[in-house]
Amino acid sequence: MKQLTKQDSKLANLIKKEQQRQREQLQLIPSENYVSKAVLQAVGSVLMNKYSEGYVQKRYYQGNVNIDKIEALVKKRALKLFGLDEEKWGVNVQPPTGSVANLAVYTALIKPGDKMMGMFLYDGGHLSHGWQLPDGKKVSFTSQIYKPCYYYVDISKGVFDYEQVEKQAKKEKPQIIISGGTAYPREINYKKMGQIAKKVGAYYMADIAHEAGLVAAGVNSSPFKYADIVTMTTRKTLRGPIGAMIFSRKKYAEAIDRAVFPGLQGGPLNHSIAGIGVALKEAMQSSFKVYARQVVANAKTLAKLLQKMGYNISSGGTDKHLLLIDLRSKNMTGKQSALALEQANIIVNKNTVPGDTGKPWNPSGIRLGTPALTSRGMKEKQMEEIAGFINHVLEHQTDKKEISRAAKQVKAFAKQFPVPGLDS
Ligand SMILES: Cc1ncc(COP(=O)(O)O)c(C=O)c1O
């Protein structure tokens, strides 16, 4: 960062501090990861200088000869990675975030005032699936435009009872049903969800923002056979830059494209799209399958170890990269626990758990994930040490001396593992 340091030392120093933080702390936010140096180089490239409103060979500005080739290549790779036939599926790689991708799908397929049905947020659902608070406050813009309704987990088990989901769908008669969540630790039965949507005449959108990398690697099941639309973010388990993709059955592809541009945005983030392309190529390598398998093995190990230490793991475990600790039985709060862990260099987020009576800003759980730790080369053995750190900090969360001792230990532990993009 020589040039940046010379020209703007203030910002350069802040970036260096963030590099240091990413090295010295344990990143357990399930939606975060470390991109490779190659991805960083693509994202930090001159592609961001180019305006390219429109699509491949249908641009509103001249000078897109290279951008066209890049976007076409990324689309090809995206379809190939998920084993999709170009004749049957379209893909849009332009949305800047998962929330915008989801909004584009609704814009394309349903009308303002139509009903959308998603996973209840306190049970793991996402804001962009029509979230409004139980008191009716419309938190997400999607709930202002559309009429939201939800399906719920069976609170005693922390998992979906698909008969109940079907009953709810028949009662609500939504125009679109959405599966996927931000804090649901189990695999979703895409076949069942697709059947339910069909029965009530709704579109079925599977949002695999979290699991995209696991699905690509074949470690989690794939929704493509059953869904009309599949959306995903690219920065989580897929280990790409910030961005999103919308896969749609061919008959919807044109409407989706129109909804993204000109419906919701102007020029796409070409640098990010190129970074996605690099990540897609990485995800095609056999080493990515090994990585994805390890992500899940690490999460399962962490869940088991914490369970043995007396923690209540929502749904009793995990099928993927994330787990939820329900802290109610420990008389701890999510907020205080997450803060104490941060002081000890362990980064998690507070989260609601099924049946939570706490509010999202002071919920009863914490959410942990293994994608970033696994990208640093950590395996089951390291999960044992990390479970020990977490337990120690949670049990001593009001003891400043113990927390600062743990912070030093965690920092020394974390620094042993190279950070992709920085050290390797
Ligand atoms: C299931 C799901 N969908 C959509 C999103 C939205 O992604 P973004 O933060 O890029 O808007 C997320 C983000 O965590 C998510 O978990």
Parts of the chain belonging to CATH 3.90.1150.10: 286-414
| Atom of ligand 1 at shortest range from CA of 244 | 10
Q: For position 228, what pLDDT does the model report?
A: 98
Q: Which one is the CATH code of 286-414: 3.90.1150.10, 2.60.120.560, 3.40.710.10, 3.40.50.300?
A: 3.90.1150.10
- Integer Rg of the chain from CA: 22
Q: Is the CB of 181 under 6 A from ligand 1?
A: yes
The number of C-alpha atoms within 13 Å of 385 and in the hemisphere containing its C-beta is 14
Measuring CA to CA, which residue among 82, 195, 84, 183 is closest to residue 129?
183
- Helical (H) or strand (E) element with 239: none
Q: Is the CB of 128 under 6 A from ligand 1?
A: yes
How far apart CA 272 and CA 47 sit, in angstroms, is 9
Q: Whose CA is nearest to atom 7 of ligand 1?
A: 98
Phi-psi category of residue 359: left, alpha or beta, with phi > 0 → left and psi -120 to 50 → alpha = beta
Q: Is the CB of 370 under 6 A from ligand 1?
A: no
> Pocket of ligand 1, candidates 103, 126, 237: which has the most ligand atoms within 8 Å of its Cβ, to mutate?
126
pLDDT classification of 172: cutoffs 50, 70, 90: very high
What dihedral do alpha carbons 160, 165, 168, 173 form, nearest 10°? Answer: 140
Q: For position 361, what pLDDT does the model report?
A: 83
The number of C-alpha atoms within 13 Å of 280 and in the hemisphere containing its C-beta is 26
Q: Is the CB of 97 under 6 A from ligand 1?
A: yes
Q: For position 44, what pLDDT does the model report?
A: 98
> Pocket of ligand 1, candidates 29, 33, 99: which has the most ligand atoms within 8 Å of its Cβ, to mutate?
99
Q: Whose CA is nearest to atom 14 of ligand 1?
A: 182
CA of 208 to the centre of ligand 1 (A): 9
Q: Is the CB of 312 under 6 A from ligand 1?
A: no
CA of 87 to the centre of ligand 1 (A): 28
Q: Is the CB of 98 under 6 A from ligand 1?
A: yes
Q: For position 87, what pLDDT does the model report?
A: 97
Q: Is the CB of 243 under 6 A from ligand 1?
A: no
Q: For position 170, what pLDDT does the model report?
A: 98
How far apart CA 121 and CA 151 sit, in angstroms, is 10
Q: Is the CB of 209 under 6 A from ligand 1?
A: yes
Q: Give the relative orientation of helices 334-343 and 380-395 as an angle to the nearest 10 degrees.
A: 110
pLDDT classification of 358: cutoffs 50, 70, 90: confident
| Atom of ligand 1 at shortest range from CA of 235 | 10
Q: For position 17, what pLDDT does the model report?
A: 98
The pTM score is: 0.97
Q: If DSSP states are collapsed to H, E and C, what string results for the chain?
A: CHHHHHHCHHHHHHHHHHHHHHHHCEECCCCCCCCCHHHHHHHCCHHHHCCCCEECCEECCCCCHHHHHHHHHHHHHHHHHCCCCCCCEEEECCCCCHHHHHHHHHHHHCCCCCEEEEECHHHCCCHHHCCCCCCCCCCCHHHHHCEEEEECEECCCCEECHHHHHHHHHHHCCCEEEECCCCCCCCCCHHHHHHHHHHHCCEEEEECCCCHHHHHCCCCCCCCCCCCEEEEECCCCCCCCCCEEEEEEHHHHHHHHHHHHHHHCCCCCHHHHHHHHHHHHHHCCHHHHHHHHHHHHHHHHHHHHHHHCCCEEHHHCCCCCEEEEECHHHCCCHHHHHHHHHHCCEECEEECCCCCCCECCECCEEEEECHHHHHCCCCHHHHHHHHHHHHHHHHCCCCHHHHHHHHHHHHHHHCCCCCCCCCC
Q: Is the CB of 277 under 6 A from ligand 1?
A: no
CA of 98 to the centre of ligand 1 (A): 5
How far apart CA 356 and CA 344 sit, in angstroms, is 26
Q: Is the CB of 182 under 6 A from ligand 1?
A: yes
SS3 36: coil
pLDDT digits (tens, 9 = 90+) for 284-311: 999 999 999 999 999 999 999 999 999 9
424, pLDDT greater than 90:
no
> Pocket of ligand 1, candidates 128, 129, 236: which has the most ligand atoms within 8 Å of its Cβ, to mutate?
128
pLDDT digits (tens, 9 = 90+) for 62-115: 999 999 999 999 999 999 999 999 999 999 999 999 999 999 999 999 999 999
Q: Is the CB of 235 under 6 A from ligand 1?
A: no
CA of 342 to the centre of ligand 1 (A): 23
| Atom of ligand 1 at shortest range from CA of 97 | 10
pLDDT digits (tens, 9 = 90+) for 6-36: 999 999 999 999 999 999 999 999 999 999 9
Parts of the chain belonging to CATH 3.40.640.10: 43-283
Say yes or no: domain 43-283 is CATH 3.40.640.10: yes
